[in-house]
Structure 1
Amino acid sequence: MTYDELSWCKSSYSTADGPDCVEVAVGRDGVLIRDSKDIHRARIAVGPEAWAAFLGAVTVLVDGMGAGIR
């Protein structure tokens, strides 16, 4: 499977005209992250454990900030 064949997902907080957007895709060996404005640049690959830890940390941060994020 090539990078182009993966199912890439953009954050629901991203907008079409926003300057900073990322997309993620689940691959065979982990999660791939790319710049949605320049999809041909290098991608970052992380293992499933690292991705789970990242999501856990972000969840704690967002929960601690309350509803002020949007």
Structure 2
Amino acid sequence: MDKFAKHLHLSKWRKKRYVRKMVYEDIRGSYLLFYDKEISAAEERRTRQNDRTIGDGDAEEQDSCDEESETEENVVE
């Protein structure tokens, strides 16, 4: 992947987490399956959050996911 394409992917990663996962798998050559899996995981997460009545726990969970994503991004860059 050339430098410019990598830059575009990095900018997309910051918008949507599943796009970032898709790019990782694209480099390995099988991104479509992983893309579908990540979208379904995102939908599952949304339904779990909708089922819960307490919002504070959800925010903490999301923060931990975001920290993991940032760590992965630093490693790739």
Normalised TM-score (structure 2) = 0.37
As a proportion of its length, which structure holds more helix? 2
Normalised TM-score (structure 1) = 0.39
With CA pairs under 8 Å and 6+ residues apart, which has the higher RCO, 1 or 2? 1
As a proportion of its length, which structure holds more strand? 1
